Amino acid sequence: MIVKVLFILVMIGTCVVCKPRFTIGGIFYEDAEDLKQAFNVSAKMFKFNTLVAEVPRTGEFLQISGHVCEFAKAGVVGIIDAVGGLATELIQALCDTLEIPLITIQQNDFYLKDWTLINLYPSPDAFNNLLTQLITTKGWKNFTLLYVKGHSMSNVHKLLEMSTQSDNMFTVTVRELSGDDYRDVLTEAKDSGYVNFVVDCPSANLEQILCQAQQVSLMSDEHSYIFVSPDLFTLDMSRYRYGGVNMTGFRLVELQDNNPLWEFTSSYNAEAPNILQPENLKTEVLLIYDAVLMLSDALTKVNVTTQELDCEKYGSWAYGSTLLNFMKTSKAEGLTKSFHFDGFGQRNNVMIDVLELTPAGNQSIATWSDNSLNMSRPKVLATEIGEETIMKNKTFKVLISKTAPYGYIRESIFKLEGNDRYEGFTIDLIDKLSDLLGFNYEFELEDVYGNQLPNGTWTGMISKIRDDKADFAICDLTITTERQKGIDFSTPFMSLGISILYKEPSKQPPEMFSFMAVFSKEVWYYMVFVQLALGVIMIFVGRISNKEWQNPVPCVEQPEELNNQFSFANSVWLIIGSVMQQGSEIAPIALAPRIITSVWWFFTMVMVASYVGTLVAFLTVEKDVMPFTTVDELYEQKHIAYGAKTTGSTIDFFKYSTNPKYKEMHNKMVSKGWVVTDNDIGVDKAEKGNYAFFMESTSIEYTKERHCDLIQVGGLLDSKNYGIGMKKQSPYKRYIDSALLLLKERGEIQKLKEIWWKEKRGGGKCGEKRDEEQKKLGMRNMLGAFVVLGVGCLIGLLISILDMLWGVFKRSVKYGTTFKFELIEELKFALKFSGDIKPVKRQPKELSVIENDLDLEKKDEIMSLRSARSTDTHRTHRSHGSRHSSRSLSVAFARRRQYT
């Protein structure tokens, strides 16, 4: 048996070994060693046999036809075309006739829609849509298109159409790079003032263009490039990283967590003379692997049989069309991400990473997928900011202003020169930025921040930056829509808004009934309601609890009637006495009333302790009585003036506001002369009283630290930010932004603010102001005590109900009645809530007629006896006998017993 099993296994293994593997063909240029190597490595990984055909770059078409026919005679299941150009047209025609699947990896400029092939290279439509959206996102209004002579412009034809749009928003210039030396053309582009370039060229020309552009100084910080070829970042870009040029390129492969890529790279390097990293592999090399992967994936799902074909007999492979259509419709995953083809085999819906060259290396800034550009520009990391940047060792002119605390003239007994003459918050901030980015700076004073005049010109700092008379402006320069039309701003280094500066009002003594303000009205209402409700609960619980029915005359062992102490008056008195901490002569006897009373005592302890603890503050604290707390209340005031600085974003907020109240306030400020020329004048007027001054919240914080009688009233009317001003499309913006974000994360900006607001130049004079106004205790504060009281009452009710049921059961057994009858009679008596005397035994229904015939003498005695007892409490029961002789009571009971 064992021998037979071994024989079968050997035969199966022999059959597997002998089973022929599929063969694929590849057509390459003679000097394309990297592509041929990638083809062989990929075929080995997916267990294919290979046939390689080499052709010269001169384009001998007859030779190419012969190779295709040889592949057909060998029974290949597919052909990979790595030649492209006009040769693809001939290869496609033969493959279409023979029905052999054809996969090309080259951009083909002669593609026709009736061709039956698959092109793994992204289609021209994909590149055109991507470039159009990217240029729009970058905000380029004019750019130059550079292309290599002989290279088709199918990938950029939509860019040419942008210049023909009706709105004339874009200006497009086209320049051809021919021969081996492009420097003359590049120099002409530089002399023409071109700064934005789109470069469309084969990957073989990339290094030459980059090198010669750098040689003619077309790689400075004012220049920007977009390279269409996805092979830009496979080159060594280290020599261009620190020149400041903005260089954008594309990549099809995902480098992170891509195990197939690492496996392929390892196998590729094993047979290559040079070791390459995955990011250095050319796109065509990766597409060779993906082409073999597609064939392998399709052959595992489609059963085919190879067939030797003869070109002269015009034969065709029966499975070719099926295999090709399956590859078009399947959605496989390769090194260049997902494969999605249209009906013509073109790869339109392709995922592309958009990368940008930075001093820290190339970084992904966006992703193209589903015909949409999704920006995801990352910030430069802290460790990368410290590296060399385009700002390194450069000297910039920085505009500042003498606005406290952002800038001061330094006080010194010595004569100071240069940057030493100034100090302040923004002075220290620019110094920290220079330490991070390695640049130098010179200060220049400019008190006019700048606005646009009706004739379109600009003033102040904005004008100097636009005219290249200064590089940056750093002060309390508000980022506004109008200013952003003239210059760019960095990421905000401080957020603020408009608020009101007003003199702190004098303290007012507490009101007459301030002791009532300890609790909110809601708490007082609940307190009264709870006391009334608890009184009703105590009556009910007392009436259904057996132990609360006591013998009014202890000397009579078996009384016919029992007495209960829980009337409404007694219950309320017990509750009020507990609240007032005075106690009461009423004391519950049964378990359930005692539980409810104990919980009530706990509740009153909490409430009284909370009340007393807060009452002292309410009787001693003097409160500020503000004439207004919001802008709307200030608007309604008739005797308080208000104003703002005559120029700046604060007065513009009221001037251009869509709120009619704000516009009216602006008109009133201007017409009545309440506006001031300087913030210091406004602060002085506010300090003298009866004047509200609108300022930015950061300036109010600074003023409050030095003028102790001034306060901020209300919240912020708007939200705005301070930023560093710089020229439009400044190449330094991203470095300044990243450095500011780093300083924020480290808390450096907040430390500078603490120093210049609360320490230097008179800061910290007023100390910390405390809000002395005490808050009322509302239901949210006291809810727990009410919950405890409610739970205790429920427990007491439950116990009292069980006690009542137990008593009903005992009476039903004792007197031979039904449980239901006794329960109904007990509930009727308890729910009447009248009378505090209960008969020990209720007589049967048939004796009720005899009861009605009792003589008047007996009724009068009994009624007088009940009247005397009903007015007594539990405390006076035992002293009752001293006021009424026990003899008279005994006689009355004796008469009744004798009568019955």
Q: How confident is the model at residue 898 (pLDDT cuts 50, 70, 90)?
A: very low
Q: DSSP for 622-648, please give it.
A: PEE--S-SSHHHHHH-SS-EEE-BSSS
Per-residue model confidence (pLDDT) at position 801? 78
- Res. 581 pLDDT band, cuts 50 70 90: low
pLDDT at 794: 81
Residue 720 has a pLDDT of: 83
The CATH number that domain 21-121+258-338 falls under is 3.40.50.2300
Percent of the chain whose pLDDT exceeds 90 = 20
Which CATH architecture best describes the domain 631-718? 3-Layer(aba) Sandwich (3.40)
Which part of the chain is CATH 3.40.190.10? 392-496+722-758, 631-718
Closest CA to 807 of 592, 627, 475, 545: 545
483 is in an annotated binding site: yes
pLDDT at 90 over 80: yes
Which is more confidently placed, 660 or 2? Answer: 660
Q: State the greatest distance between any 2 C-alpha atoms of the chain, in Å, as a whole number.
A: 147
- Tens of pLDDT, residues 269-278: 988 778 888 8
In this structure, are residues 413 and 381 in contact, taking their beta carbons and an 8 Å threshold?
A: no
**CATH assignment of 124-251+350-375, among 3.40.50.140, 3.30.70.3040, 3.40.50.300, 3.40.50.2300:** 3.40.50.2300
**pLDDT mean over 750-765:** 83
Q: What is the pLDDT of residues 521-567, one digit of tens each?
A: 788 788 778 777 877 777 777 767 767 676 666 676 666 677 666 66
Order of strands, edge to edge, in the sheet holding 641-643?
641-643, 691-696, 498-503, 710-713
CB distance 542 to 593 below 8 Å: yes
Tell me the two tokens of residue 207: 């290094």
Q: Encoding tokens for residue 372?
A: 């949409």
Report CA dihedral (232, 234, 238, 239) to the nearest 10 degrees: -50
- The pLDDT, as a whole number, for residue 144 is 92
pLDDT surpasses 70 at 863: no
pLDDT at site 359: 64
Give pLDDT, residue 783: 66
pLDDT at position 832: 67
Concatenated DSSP letters of 801-850: HHHHHHHHHHHHHHHT--HHHHHHHHHHHHHT---SEEESSPPPGGGHHH
Q: Does 879 have pLDDT greater than 60?
A: no
Q: Is the per-residue pLDDT at 427 higher than 90?
A: yes
Cα dihedral 517, 521, 522, 524 in deg (nearest 10): 80
Any idea which of 54-63, 279-288, 299-308 has the lowest mean pLDDT? 54-63
pLDDT of residue 386: 46
Burial 599-629 (b: 16+ CB within 10 A, else e): bbeebbeebeebbeebeeebeeeebeeeebe
Which 8-state DSSP code applies to residue 490?
A: -
The C-alpha atoms of residue 487 and residue 467 are separated, in whole angstroms, by 11
The yes-or-no verdict on residue 391 having pLDDT over 90 is no
- Tell me the per-residue pLDDT of 595-619, one tens digit each, with 9 for 90 and over: 777 777 777 777 777 777 676 666 5
- pLDDT tens-digit profile of 815-859? 778 877 877 877 776 676 665 565 655 454 444 444 444 444 444
Give, to the nearest 10 degrees, the angle between helix 259-270 and helix 33-45: 120
- Report whether pLDDT(867) > 60: no
649 is in an annotated binding site: yes
List where CATH 3.40.50.2300 sits in the chain.
21-121+258-338, 124-251+350-375
Q: Please state whether the predicted TM-score (pTM) of the whole model is above 0.85.
A: no
pLDDT at 469 over 80: yes
Q: Is 696 labelled a binding residue?
A: yes
What does the pLDDT average to over 369-386? 66
Task: Characterize 673-695 residue by residue with b for buried, 16 or more Cβ atoms within 10 angstroms of its Cβ, and e for exposed.
Answer: ebbbeebeebbebbbeeebbbbb
* pLDDT for the residue numbered 653: 87
Question: Average pLDDT in the 883-891 region?
Answer: 40
Average pLDDT rounded to a whole number, residues 45-58: 89
Least confident span in 51-65, 255-269, 386-400, 563-577: 563-577
Q: How high is the mean pLDDT of the chain?
A: 79
For domain 392-496+722-758, give the CATH number: 3.40.190.10
Q: Is residue 666 pLDDT above 80, yes or no?
A: yes
Instruction: Tell me what the mean pLDDT of segment 732-753 comes to.
Output: 87
**Residues 300-335 pLDDT 10s:** 888 889 989 888 887 889 898 889 888 888 777 889
Strongest mean pLDDT among 148-162, 426-440, 579-593: 426-440
Q: What's the CA gap between 246 and 226, in Å, rounded?
A: 9
